[in-house]
A and B are shown apart, each in its own frame.
Chain A
Amino acid sequence: MNLFRQIASNLVKGPVPGDAAGGGTGGGSDPESDAELVSRSQKGDYSAFDALVTKHRGRVYAMIQNMVKNEADAWDLAQEVFVKVWKALPKFEARARFSTWMYRITHNVVYDWMRKRKFETVGELDDNVLNRERIAVGATATPAHGARPDEALVQAELRKKIEGALEKLNPEHRETILLREVQGLEYKEIADVMDCSIGTVMSRLFYARKKLQTLLTRTHEPES
């Protein structure tokens, strides 16, 4: 039976509003509402979990897609994240922030996937592991990410440039930048997600920003 006749809807909800520098809270999610849904889910209420999925799938999918740059894999990995979330819900402590915990699971799923791909491919996992050809092939399975008719050419060019620069960062730097600048997480939250110290987060941010600036300026300067 055909249960899902769905017109593909790649809704882009845009960047986190407000000042990510000062008050980024991983924004968008209402902590009280999450707590209620989590509590009900922990009691086995699947409809509450379904609501949690609907609420957070956009962030999870965006984070994964921004890391792996392949829509088909991102879809599968996002599924894996939520299966793990469901299985681990009994261990989730109510006082913790659900979105941070969810990002942590996302981080683990993405890095497991990257490790598996490293095993499969010849050579080291480096900044350029994401082969452009692979991205193009995968993207045909779903509506192309960039094919929005309302997008100005300039915007498209800018995004291409920025995505290209992000891809040249190593995964840790890329993830740190995405979590801070795009998802708006605090330094402590990023440390929790990436299972490292705040000092490491600061250092990664420092070097990732420098590298991005170098990559995106017209003339290349030697990295300091």
Chain B
Amino acid sequence: MQFGVFTIGDITQDPTDGTTPTENERIRNTIAIARHAEEVGFEVFATGQHHNPPFVAPASPPVLLSYLAAQTEKLQLSTATTLITTTDPVRIAEDYSYLQHLAGGRLDLTMGRGNTGPVYPWFGKDIRQGIPLAVENYHLLYRLWNEDAVDWRGQFRTPLQGFTVTPQPLDGVAPFVWHGSIRSPEIAEQAAYYGDGFFHNNIFWNFEHVKQMVSLYRQRYEYYGHGQRHQAFVALGGQAYMARNSQDAVREFRPYFDNAPVYGHGPSLEDFSRMTPLTVGSPQQVIERTLTFRDWVGDYQRQMFLIDHAGLPLKKVLEQLDLFGSEVLPVLRREFAALKPDDVPEAPTHEWLVERRRRGEQPVPGGREGSQAWIDEQESEGRGE
């Protein structure tokens, strides 16, 4: 089980003292948070991709992640998310491939469509084509990372003849990809088709819905023959604020909650905590709540936490990381490990992917010979469809 922190890089006024960090301060704070996350024992740091204020998450995540690769030793670097709809897949292939080399393989990506309307026209795209863009662009990216010279013609970018990505992925193995979607079954299907991971950023959604999306992904993962459904790769979001004493946590966090971007000025902290994974309380409460996620989605590989938004000052964020490192993560790791059957894989690392490839067990998009998808395909061809 991997635990990580993910950030959207929002620049928000601290409602308790009226101060707002500058862009430079927020960027520097992000570096400090990522480094401290590694120090306290988190495995993963992920950044969003943003093209509009008040966010300083980079327009190109590899800019930030390359710097972090040089500043950290073990931390797995990731995105939440890389905008597959509005970013040229050729640039994604080139930039992340280079970053994968710099980071010594400590890199994976999460693909997302993005829900900020104007970003699409800013990059010459149409938001109504969100799903087709995600499908076609990722298919090109997949081919660029897995084939030598690519010939390509699609709807959304200029054609390619004999195009080879440089640098080629490290050790000939592409970074692992998660596909993130809150409510589009097409994206769960896409993740299953390629044998990739599925990330449900459930921080604003109720668990009945999360369970339904993850179940669909798991069922289709098995259909495409990449493994049994309980062996598919699932990552979840989460959100927490802790103090040793739960009343202090609620008292300290309430002004940040009430004024937060996205959900502030809406439901009460108490209602929102019931409806979503947000947990404000003692470390023990965060442990207990997080363990229940498994009851909804089965054994999963990665748990991300949002801890640095809504104007929380750096000092408070670093204290949260300390509490996670000293009290929460050791217990969660032990408890999740005790519950996980042996045949459920851990989150993929570069070394694991290289080894899987050496054994010739990398997933075949659409299903390996003998999978149910393959059998159905043979039958439909036999009927001349």
- Tell me whether A and B are bound partners: no
Which residues of B come within 8 Å of A, CB atoms? Answer: none
